[in-house]
Amino acid sequence: MNSPETTLRLATCADLDGLNRVIEAAVMTWQLPERVKRLAMPGYRYNEHDLEHYEIVVAESGHHIVGVAARDTEPHQGPADERAMLLHGIYVHPEQQHRGIGSQLLAAAEQTACARDFDGIMVKAQKDAEGFFRAQGLEKLETRDLARDYENRYWKRLR
């Protein structure tokens, strides 16, 4: 799943600085207080250990990482106990947004989920991303338990 300008590939340890820069740039555009963003940033950064547990896909353009998607390869419980592949988020550098990179990363995740026989894909996202995920055909899941459920979860049935 590549465009003439953007290629997707699995991240390596050598990519961590670049992909974390993209994530930080994206997070800093969110409609949250600056202090909240700064305090939350350490939790969004990936390290070598994360590469052992997640498939982190990077989008590259001109040898620069411009987008990131991290997906859990273990099944998660989706709606009605369906097998869901969990996508921890899609991050696109603010200067590269609205160029189809996020759509490309999501489509690649959907292809992987189908190939691995998941029923659908579930995404944990920031509220600012609701329009993107709805435009991509995902539905927002109801938050039944605020203490347990992530508030901005989206679901797309794939089969």
Contact in structure between 60 and 39 (CB atoms under 8 Å): no
Give the up-direction half-sphere exposure of residue 89: CA atoms within 13 A in the CB hemisphere. 22
Give the up-direction half-sphere exposure of residue 154: CA atoms within 13 A in the CB hemisphere. 23
* Distances, alpha carbon 47 to alpha carbons 20, 51, 85, 86, 101, in Å: 9, 7, 21, 19, 23
Mean pLDDT of 8-23: 98
Residue pLDDT, tens place only, 18-42: 999 999 999 998 888 889 888 888 8
Q: Is the full-model pTM beyond 0.75? A: yes
Domains of the chain: 7-157 (3.40.630.30)
Residue pLDDT, tens place only, 91-124: 999 999 999 999 999 999 999 999 999 999 999 8
